Amino acid sequence: MRYTKKGITYRKYFTRVKEAIDNDFHLEATWIIYSLLEDRLKSLTIEKLGLVLIRDNVESTIIALKDEIKINPTLSGELSLELLNEIDKWRKDRNDVIHFLTQERINEDELSSISLRGEAILRDIASVNMRIKKRLKGKAA
């Protein structure tokens, strides 16, 4: 079987992100994207690179990856600081959505933009994760 249980779950929720965006359920999409993004970042940071996190959250994961890029030239060729900065900016925008939603300081166009950016970022980090996974498997063989 090509996909693991986790891979099947990941594909299922990636499909739900697309469906949520297609149906203008951008708030739902941002929640799912955040969860998947957190999972992919932790997988990359802890499972693949063996890094220790200061705290168990996306912000700490981003910090750990930025620090590792500075000392690991192989990683810097696979994961850019620009992508990590983009993830961090998206994370902050997503947090603003949660805090400002009831105050009506986020309109539907902004929410749509955040969910679409998040979907693209999620695809990017998933690709990075797969490239590093394949590289590490090649080293183990």
- Total domains in the chain come to 1
Q: Which domain holds residue 14?
A: 5-140
Query: Considering only CA atoms, which of 87, 101, 106, 103 is closest in space to residue 33?
Result: 87
Q: For residues 106 and 104, what is the distance between their CA atoms, to the nearest angstrom?
A: 5
Q: How far apart are CA 11 and CA 30, in angstroms?
A: 16
Q: Which amino acid makes up residue 63?
A: I
Task: Write down the pLDDT at residue 1.
Answer: 43
From first to last of its 141 residues, the chain has per-residue pLDDT tens of: 466 887 888 889 999 999 999 999 999 999 999 999 999 999 889 888 888 888 888 999 999 999 999 998 888 889 999 999 999 999 999 988 887 777 767 788 888 999 999 999 999 999 999 888 888 888 765
Q: How far is CA 9 from CA 21, 64, 89, 126, in A?
A: 19, 26, 26, 14
- 135 in Cβ contact with 51 (< 8 Å): no
**What is the pLDDT at residue 22?**
96
